[in-house]
Structure 1
Amino acid sequence: MIQKLNEIHLDALKEVGNIGVANAATSLSILLNRTIDITIPSVDIVDIEDICEFVGGEEEIVNAVFFRVIGDFEGNFFLIIKEHSLKKLVHNLYTENHLNMSNNVEMDYSLFNEFGNILAASYVSSLSDLICSRLSLTVPQSAKDMAGAILTYGIHSYGEIGNDAMIINTSFYYDNEKIEGYMLFLPEPNTLHSFFNKFGIGF
């Protein structure tokens, strides 16, 4: 069903992505106490088997926070951060919150969960306001594993999925350094009708 998307549909999705990640970047700027720049989101339609190529390949070790978006419009939301970028983020979070650095992995992931929760909540809140729909997030789940394992679990454990996936992704930059990660939002195919109807676009 996703293959039916045309340029008008993709433009609408890109606009939603623009607004969502801009608000997410603002929240992140407050959290890290520094200016955050973002890339313009891209919208890609890919075969479900090729999703991992967007994050460096199936065997790329990544850190991820996964949410289900539930309500009038449902889907899967991922925040995926590469290992060296996570270390930078955790260091900044410790510094800005006046915490002592430690080797406490549980504490590190607690901060990472909070980071992901703020980004996802900002994105979904923007989406909810834009399409005048009731949306909420499930409790986040975080993991460190190969990208293939994380994405396979998140995609196939919840909701309907076809042979294709839609990915709205972006990258964040701070202090001229790239946060090597991705925000991926995969709407369920059977919810796209109501989404595009909000924009007056047939589907």
Structure 2
Amino acid sequence: MSSINLDQLDNMHFDVLREIGNIGAGNATTALSQLINTKIDMNVPKVELLEFKDISEIVGGAESLVVGILLTLEGDIDGMMMFMLEQSSAHHLVNVLLGKELDNFEDFTEMDLSALNEIGNIIAGAYLSSLSSLTNLRITASIPYMSIDMAGAILSVPAIEFGKIGDKALLIQSQFGEDETEVNGYFILIPSLESYNKILSSIGM
């Protein structure tokens, strides 16, 4: 198996990664819809392979407050996955789920934080489940670790961990709902280079 070079992905490889992103985001939308018991429309997700330093700009800048839920991946795939929510999106989900009217992270109770963690866990789980089904690879995830902090600080964790094997991550930017109920979620998939090889070879690349 030849080793993949993330700086020289051809269109066909990238189309496969984009399709993985599409299917994963679709699964996550279904899970979110069931969780809050409301039909949710999803815009076509935007899939990009980006350097870590560029990801924080997409989520509103390095100093913007976000929720980050980090999972370590094991099994046939090694790496990390992070699900990030913008502040307004996190508030909206907790408000819908618990019938509240929060608009500031400082107002979150332990119960609100627990609900937010569970939302992230379910959405991330749905994404990983679709990746596992599509590739026929066994993927297990750690207990999720949730943090509310500035985007730059949250992204520094996987950046430091994986900086030694590469500086790129697969970002799947998803919009659920519309207008005032819009939720912006960001899946950041950071497999090891060997795992990228496994993912692509498992679907015949």
TM-score normalised over the length of structure 1: 0.87
Distance of 1:42 and 1:155 partners within structure 2: 21
Residue identity (%): 36
- In structure 2, relative to structure 1, the CA distance for the partners of 1:49 and 1:161 (3 Å cut) is farther
- In structure 2, relative to structure 1, the CA distance for the partners of 1:159 and 1:198 (3 Å cut) is farther
Cα displacement (A) at 1:92? 0.9
Q: Secondary structure at the match of 2:99?
A: helix
Moved over 4 A (4+): none
Cα displacement (A) at 1:157? 3.3
Which of these residues, 31, 50, 67, is aligned with residue 27 of structure 1?
Answer: 31
- In structure 2, relative to structure 1, the CA distance for the partners of 1:81 and 1:116 (3 Å cut) is same
Cα displacement (A) at 1:131? 0.7
What's 1:137 paired with?
141
What RMSD, in angstroms, separates the aligned Cα atoms of the two structures? 2.0
- In structure 2, relative to structure 1, the CA distance for the partners of 1:92 and 1:23 (3 Å cut) is same
Which of these residues, 195, 198, 203, is aligned with residue 194 of structure 1?
Answer: 198
- In structure 2, relative to structure 1, the CA distance for the partners of 1:57 and 1:11 (3 Å cut) is same
Matches within 5 A, 1:1-203: 1-95=5-99, 103=107, 105-157=109-161, 161-173=165-177, 177-201=181-205
Give the residue type in structure 1 aligned to 2:33.
S
Distance of 1:143 and 1:4 partners within structure 2: 33
Distance of 2:166 and 2:153 partners within structure 1: 18
Give the residue type in structure 2 aligned to 1:69.
L
Q: Secondary structure at the match of 2:166?
A: coil
**Structure 1: which 5+ residue stretches go unaligned?**
97-102
TM-score normalised over the length of structure 2: 0.87
Distance of 1:110 and 1:160 partners within structure 2: 33
Distance of 2:155 and 2:204 partners within structure 1: 32
Give the residue type in structure 2 aligned to 1:180.
N
**Structure 2: which 5+ residue stretches go unaligned?**
101-106
Greater shift, 133-142 or 166-175, is seen at: 166-175
Q: Secondary structure at the match of 1:66?
A: strand
Q: Secondary structure at the match of 1:171?
A: strand
